[in-house]
Amino acid sequence: MTTSNKHPGAPWRNFYGRIKGKTLKQSQEAYLDEDLAALSPGPIDWDDNPERNPIDTKAMFDGKPVWLEIGFGGGEHMVHQAVQNPDVGIIGCEPYINGVAMLLGKIRSSGASNLKVHPGDVRNLFDVLPAASLDKAFLLYPDPWPKKRHHRRRAVTPEYLEPLARALKPGAEFRVATDIPDYVRQTMIEVPKAGFEWLAEGPSDWRDPWGDWISTRYEQKALREGRVPHYMTFRKR
């Protein structure tokens, strides 16, 4: 466990996930050194922005619609969406530095230029996102925190959902994918309470992936291990 904020004026926020895994490859170290700073969406963390001044999402992507991916893992989905949707800008948040390095390699290979990357806690980004500035958001295979006493750490809790709802425009889409049945249950309880409606008319609406979906390595692992993915789509009221 680490704390996400060390600035004296910052709120106390515990962060329980991994920050770094196995040793990075030399090429991945180079991606971090050479590419990451240029992809920053702006001053996000408390030490860089203690006044919590809002970032300019309109200027960031020249007025394009802005999407957010919360915890992009290895970046497969984020880069896929960026390449398929050059008319939007996508901000990705991921505190796990190995995943950030993987994403940067994929960005280089794809040539995508409509991405920004925050290698840290999405709650810090929420602090400085203007209200109603996001057109779509993704939460795909988040850390399951399977033990009941850890469910409060999940990203479908008010600490995450309330600021996300504030940052999304009315009518904006929020997609959640998970292979954990209890995570599905908590999502279906908590997300509507935060100001969203579930867009499902039949079983295929949560059993079948979205039409523009690309299966990630996390999903492939779930399928190999016999777990069933669920794809939930919500709309901000």
Domain regions of the chain by residue span: 48-236
pLDDT tens per residue across span 217-230: 999 999 999 999 99
pLDDT at 23: 81
Cβ neighbors of 97 (< 8 A, separation 6 or more) are 19, 20, 24, 32, 119
For the question of residue 33 being annotated catalytic, the response is: no
Q: In a 3-state reduction of DSSP, which class is residue 225?
A: coil
CATH number listed for the domain at residues 48-236 = 3.40.50.150
CA dist 182 to 69, 151, 220, Å? 22, 9, 19
pLDDT at 5: 60
pLDDT tens per residue across span 4-16: 566 777 777 776 6
pLDDT tens per residue across span 86-125: 999 999 999 999 999 999 999 999 999 999 999 999 999 9
Among residues 143, 179, 208, 212, the one annotated as catalytic is 143
Integer Cα distance of 12 and 4 in angstroms = 8
The pLDDT of residue 177 is above 70: yes
pLDDT at 16: 62
Higher pLDDT, residue 20 or 84: 84
Contact yes or no for 138/233 (Cβ under 8 A): no
